[in-house]
Amino acid sequence: MEARLLPMGASALLVEVADTDAALTLRARLAPLVDELVEHLVVGARTVLVVLGDAGRRDEVGRACLELAADVDAVAKPDETEPVEIAVRYDGADLDEVSRLTGLSRAEVVEAHTGTPWRVGFGGFAPGFAYLVGGDPRLRVPRRADPRTRVPAGSVALAGEFSGIYPQDSPGGWQLLGTTDAVLWDAEREPPALLAPGMAVRFVDVDPAGAAREEMSPAPGHRGPAAATTVTARSRRGTDTQRGLEVLATGPLTLVEDLGRPGLADVGVGRSGAADPAAYLLGLRLVGHLLDRDDERWPAPASLEVTLGGLAVRAHGDLVVALTGAPCPADVDGRPVAHASPVALADGQALTLGTPSAGLRTWLAVRGGIAVPPVLGSRSSDTLSGLGPAAPAVGDVLRVGAAPRTFPVVDVAPHEPPSDGLVVLEIDPGPRADWCDLADLEAEVRTVSARSNRVGIRLEGTGIRRHAAYADSELPSEGLVVGAVQVPAGGEPVVFLADHPVTGGYPVVAVLTPQAVARAAQLRPGQPVLLRLRRPSR
């Protein structure tokens, strides 16, 4: 097929090709553009998501994508790498069901799974999860009608044309064939993911005692039956003689966030980072941080993201802080302090945040940044993957880093506070806008569901109807971006935020503008929302 270039918001493009082989080939061809023109690439079942480093060069990157994709489906793709071998105990709860669905005996199912080489197509919903393609076509079975609320880590499973291994305990609807002790993800390993796009994979049957039924060779990077490395870094507890913030109260949820960890989506790790980057960056500027990617202290200084107020901290040493985002009543030892303004916090003084009257998230920036240990180059807490520092707890002392060479230059910054009423979110058409009538998105004021979080916002109201041609269609998984508006089969739109999954299988019919992403991060459950297509300025 001829490659198609599809829109994916202001800062990304989706290139659609014939199949996974073509997508992997295109990814390899686009790799030299990463860093110069492209921030990162995400392979899907039949697509490559191209996230731009500079949105102003969108047309240039689009032309390059189409040129490089011109003949990818006609290129031979030999795989000369040694396969990664995964030892499996075929004792899965759904082995009999797979046998029934395929018409194969249990032994034949195992033989089919081990007898055909697999290949990593693309990453999935969790760090280390890989969609494996190219197996025996007889093993194509549907997902379970009733997904499990918990699938144990190490479960080897089938769904549709794919096989996969759950790297951590998580919900799931795949058919379970067996279990493995292979460590799919270890944040302290280099590289952290055992499986990456393009790798060959071979499953090996072992008996319950762990003895291989055929000779095995060590898999590259395979560590055997070791416990997975913990991927969270706890804040320091107790007394700390260095400068820091002692946590006295956390409120409903306080997290450490910076600008996130781009470039790892291929192995199931999203960018994460501050839900409202504009508010986060304003806070850093107010305390004297002028970010420069060439600075040797990059990643960016981390701040505290406070949901619905309630945070209280005591200064260890003299500090300069600032509050941005949702304005909330705040005081230092009972003395009210201003919002969006540098605040001096002397050694021993306590800063207390009340509940914002409008908006959801407030950022506490501190000169020097919150210096918890970075994980994969970022200090951001990713609530979907579990990567990054754990949520601060009462009694933690969060160390503050060295102050920058630059200094605060303003006393207060003008800002537009979040609304507590109807919020209009501007959208652009998404890659699958043709699956429905976008007028249906604009036709109704919807309500933010209580089931919303940093992963995404569910909008309750009349379901969006698909066009008849797509009524019963399933979309192969493809890359996602922050602000993507996905419409599941039930029709209730989901707007993805900072901790969104890296790929998804429902159509993205629209994408929020960057300004709308910041507004969406401040929406509270029950608040009315109207999605509106952005019109060209006159």
Pairing of strands 494-496, 456-460: antiparallel
| Beta strand residue intervals within 91-192, DSSP E | 118-123, 130-133, 148-151, 155-159, 162-165, 170-172, 175-179
Predicted TM-score (pTM) of the model is 0.86
Residue 227, pLDDT > 60, answer no
- 211 — phi, psi (to 5°)? -85, 130
Confidence label for 263 from pLDDT (cuts 50, 70 and 90): confident
Distance between CA atoms of 210 and 88, rounded to whole angstroms?
9
Residues in the chain: 538
Q: Each residue of 507-520: pLDDT tens digit?
A: 999 999 999 999 99
What pLDDT sits at residue 75? 57
pLDDT on residue 208: 52
pLDDT of residue 533: 94
Q: What pLDDT is attached to residue 74?
A: 65
The rounded distance, in Å, linking the Cα atoms of 402 and 419 is 36
Strands (E), 63-174: 84-89, 118-123, 130-133, 148-151, 155-159, 162-165, 170-172
If you average pLDDT over residues 2-6, what whole number do you get?
93
Q: Do the beta carbons of residue 68 and residue 29 sit within 8 Å? A: yes
Structural domains in the chain, CATH included, are 4-74 (3.30.1360.40), 84-206 (2.40.100.10), 232-399 (no CATH), 423-533 (2.40.100.10)
pLDDT above 60 (res 348): yes
Instruction: List, in order, residues 6 or more apart from 474 with CB less than 8 Å away.
Output: 505
Is the pLDDT at 170 greater than 50? The verdict is yes
Average confidence score pLDDT of the chain: 88
Whole-angstrom Cα distance, residue 133 to residue 142? 15
Sheet bearing 244-250, strands edge to edge? 335-336, 330-332, 350-353, 311-316, 244-250, 397-399
Strand 200-206 with 84-89, pairing: parallel
Alpha-helical (H) ranges within 263-369 are 277-286
- How confident is the model at residue 489, as a pLDDT? 81
Over residues 115-134, mean pLDDT: 89
Cα 122 to Cα 162, 164, 516, distances in angstroms: 11, 11, 29
305 DSSP β-pair partners: 255, 363
Over its C-alpha atoms, the chain yields an Rg (Å, rounded) of: 24
Range in 86-90, 105-109, 167-171 with the lowest mean pLDDT: 167-171
- Tell me the per-residue pLDDT of 284-304, one tens digit each, with 9 for 90 and over: 999 999 876 544 445 789 999
- Quick: pLDDT tens for 14-47: 999 999 889 999 999 999 998 888 988 999 989 9
List Cα–Cα distances, 138 to 113, 343, 532, in angstroms.
Answer: 10, 66, 46
